[in-house]
C-alpha cells in the first residue's frame, strides 16, 4: 500500500516537473517566435547570417562550459538529494570546474576570432557573444533538476526571456545595432544567476564553499563522457553552419540556411522537456512501458503536423521570416523529417538507456553518429559538393543512425537484465 502511494506521489512529481519543463519550453519557444521574425526582418539576411554564424560557434563553447554537467550533475544531485552538505560540495565543485572551462573558452575564442579569415570584420562580435556564456558557469540547473525543483527554473527562465525580448525590441532597431543582441543575452543570464542563487541560499540553505582541487577534477572526470556525447552532437548541428562558412558561403547565404535550421531546432526543442523530466524519474522507477506509450501516442500526431508543415511551408516561412527568406523553403522542407526522428531518439537515449545503467551506450550512439557525419562532411568538402541539400541529407541520416543504435542497445541490454 505504501509502495503504491509512493509511486503515485512520484508520478505526480513527474507530471509536475514535465509541466514545468513544458511551461519553460513554451517561454523559450514563444519569446523567440517574437524575436526571430523581428530580427530576420530588421537585420536582413546578411547581418542575420553573422548572428547565425556566431550562434553556431557559441554552441561549441556553451558545451565546453556545460561539460555534460546537466546530466552527470543531475544524476549525482538526485542520489544525494537529502544530504545538504554533499549537495553543497557537489554544487561548489561543479561551479569552480565550469569557471575554469569558461576562462579556457575565452582564450580559445580570442585566438580563433583573430586567426580565421571567416571571422574577418566579425572578431569583436564573436568575442562579445561569448561573454554572456561565462555567466552560465554559475547557473546550477543540474541541482534543481536533481532535486526535482523545476518550478524554480521555469519561472526564472520566463522572466529572463521576457527581459531579453524586451531589450531586443528596445535596442535592435536597424541592421547596424546587432551588437545589442549579446548585451541583451548578458542581462538575461545575469537575472538567471541572481534568481537561482537567491533561492539556493535562502530556501535550500546551500552556498558556495571552498573545496579541494581533487573534488573539482573528480566532477570534471565524472562528466567527461557526457561532454564527449554532447560535443559529438554539435558535429552535426553547429558544425554544419561552421563548415559552410569555411567552405565560402557568404553571410547572406548563411542567413538563408540558418533560418531553416533555427526553425527546425525550435521544433526539436518541443520534445526535450519530456526526455529531461523522464530522466531522473526513469533512473528511479524504470517504467519502460510509459515511454513506449508516449512514443505510440505522439508519433502519429508529429507525422500529421509535419505533413501540414510541408504543404504550407511557403506561408510558414513568409510569416516567420519574411519574403526575403523564401529561398529557404526547399531547405526547410528537406529538414522536416528530422522532427519525426527526434522524440524517439531523445527517449531511447538517457531516459531508457540510463534507466538500465547504460548511459555510455547513449553517449556511444552520438559519437558513432558524429563520426559518420564528420566523415561525410569531409567527403562533401573534398569533392566540392557541400550544398545545403547535401548537408540536410547527411544530418538526417546521422540522426537516424543514432536512433537505431539506441533502440538496438536498449533491446539488447534490457533483455540481459531481465534474464539476470
Q: How many CA atoms lie within 13 A of 57 on its CB side?
A: 28
The residue-averaged pLDDT of 23-35 equals 77
| pLDDT confidence bin for 408, thresholds 50/70/90 | very high
Query: For residues 263 and 48, is the Cβ–Cβ distance under 8 A?
Result: no
Residue 309: band (very low, low, confident or very high) from pLDDT cuts 50, 70, 90:
very high
The pLDDT assigned to 10 comes to 60
At 30, phi and psi to the nearest 5?
Answer: -70, -45
- pLDDT for position 278: 77
pLDDT higher than threshold 80 for residue 178: yes
Q: Examine the pLDDT at 420 and tell me if it is beyond 70.
A: no
Check whether 338 has a pLDDT greater than 80.
Answer: yes
User: For residues 65 and 134, is the Cβ–Cβ distance under 8 A?
Assistant: yes
Tens digit of each residue's pLDDT (9 = 90 or more) over 93-113: 999 999 999 999 999 999 999
Residue 239 confidence class, pLDDT cut points 50, 70, 90: confident
The answer to whether 240 and 312 are in contact (CB under 8 A) is: no
What H or E segment, with its residue span, contains residue 101?
helix 84-115
Model pTM score: 0.75
Q: Which region, left, alpha or beta, applies to residue 322 given φ > 0 means left and ψ of -120 to 50 means alpha?
A: left
The three grid cell numbers given for residue 391, joined into one nine-digit string: 548537408
DSSP letter at 384? T
From CA 248, how far away is CA 49, in angstroms rounded? Answer: 13
Tens of pLDDT along 31-52? 887 899 999 999 998 999 999 9
| pLDDT tier for residue 18 given thresholds of 50, 70 and 90 | low
Amino acid at each position: 500500500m505504501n509502495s503504491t502511494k509512493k509511486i503515485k506521489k512520484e508520478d505526480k512529481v513527474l507530471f509536475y516537473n514535465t509541466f514545468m519543463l513544458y511551461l519553460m519550453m513554451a517561454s523559450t519557444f514563444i519569446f523567440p517566435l517574437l524575436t526571430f521574425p523581428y530580427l530576420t526582418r530588421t537585420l536582413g539576411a546578411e547581418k542575420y547570417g553573422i548572428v547565425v554564424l556566431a550562434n553556431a560557434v557559441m554552441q561549441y563553447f556553451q558545451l565546453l562550459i556545460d561539460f555534460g554537467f546537466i546530466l552527470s550533475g543531475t544524476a549525482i544531485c538526485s542520489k544525494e538529494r537529502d544530504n545538504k552538505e554533499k549537495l553543497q560540495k557537489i554544487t561548489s565543485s561543479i561551479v569552480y570546474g565550469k569557471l575554469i572551462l569558461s576562462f579556457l573558452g575565452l582564450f580559445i575564442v580570442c585566438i580563433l576570432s583573430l586567426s580565421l579569415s571567416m571571422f574577418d570584420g566579425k572578431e569583436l562580435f564573436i568575442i562579445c557573444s561569448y561573454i554572456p556564456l561565462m555567466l552560465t558557469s554559475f547557473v546550477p540547473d543540474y541541482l534543481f533538476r536533481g532535486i526535482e525543483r523545476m518550478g524554480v527554473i521555469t519561472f526564472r527562465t520566463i522572466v529572463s526571456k521576457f527581459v531579453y525580448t524586451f531589450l531586443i525590441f528596445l535596442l535592435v532597431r536597424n541592421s547596424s545595432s546587432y551588437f545589442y543582441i549579446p548585451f541583451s543575452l548578458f542581462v538575461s543570464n545575469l537575472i538567471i544567476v541572481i534568481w537561482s542563487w537567491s533561492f539556493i541560499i535562502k530556501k535550500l540553505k546551500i552556498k558556495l564553499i571552498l573545496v579541494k582541487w581533487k573534488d573539482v577534477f573528480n566532477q570534471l572526470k565524472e562528466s567527461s563522457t557526457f561532454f564527449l556525447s554532447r560535443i559529438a552532437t554539435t558535429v552535426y548541428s553547429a558544425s554544419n553552419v561552421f563548415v559552410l562558412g569555411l567552405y565560402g558561403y557568404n553571410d547572406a547565404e548563411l542567413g538563408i540556411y540558418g533560418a531553416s535550421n533555427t526553425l527546425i531546432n525550435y521544433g526539436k526543442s518541443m520534445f526535450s522537456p519530456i526526455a529531461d523530466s523522464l530522466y531522473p524519474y526513469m533512473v528511479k522507477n524504470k517504467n519502460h512501458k510509459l515511454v513506449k506509450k508516449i512514443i505510440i501516442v505522439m508519433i502519429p500526431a508529429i507525422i500529421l503536423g509535419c505533413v501540414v508543415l510541408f504543404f504550407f511551408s511557403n506561408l510558414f516561412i513568409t510569416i516567420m521570416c519574411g519574403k526575403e527568406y523564401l529561398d529557404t523553403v526547399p531547405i526547410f522542407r528537406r529538414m522536416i523529417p528530422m522532427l519525426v526522428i527526434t522524440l524517439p531518439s531523445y527517449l531511447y537515449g538517457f531516459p531508457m538507456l540510463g534507466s538500465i545503467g547504460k548511459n555510455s551506450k547513449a553517449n556511444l550512439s552520438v559519437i558513432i553518429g558524429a563520426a559518420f557525419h564528420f566523415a561525410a562532411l569531409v567527403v562533401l568538402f573534398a569533392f566540392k559538393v557541400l550544398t545545403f541539400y547535401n548537408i540536410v541529407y547527411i544530418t538526417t541520416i546521422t540522426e537516424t543512425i543514432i536512433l537505431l543504435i539506441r533502440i538496438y542497445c536498449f533491446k539488447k541490454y534490457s533483455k540481459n537484465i531481465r534474464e539476470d
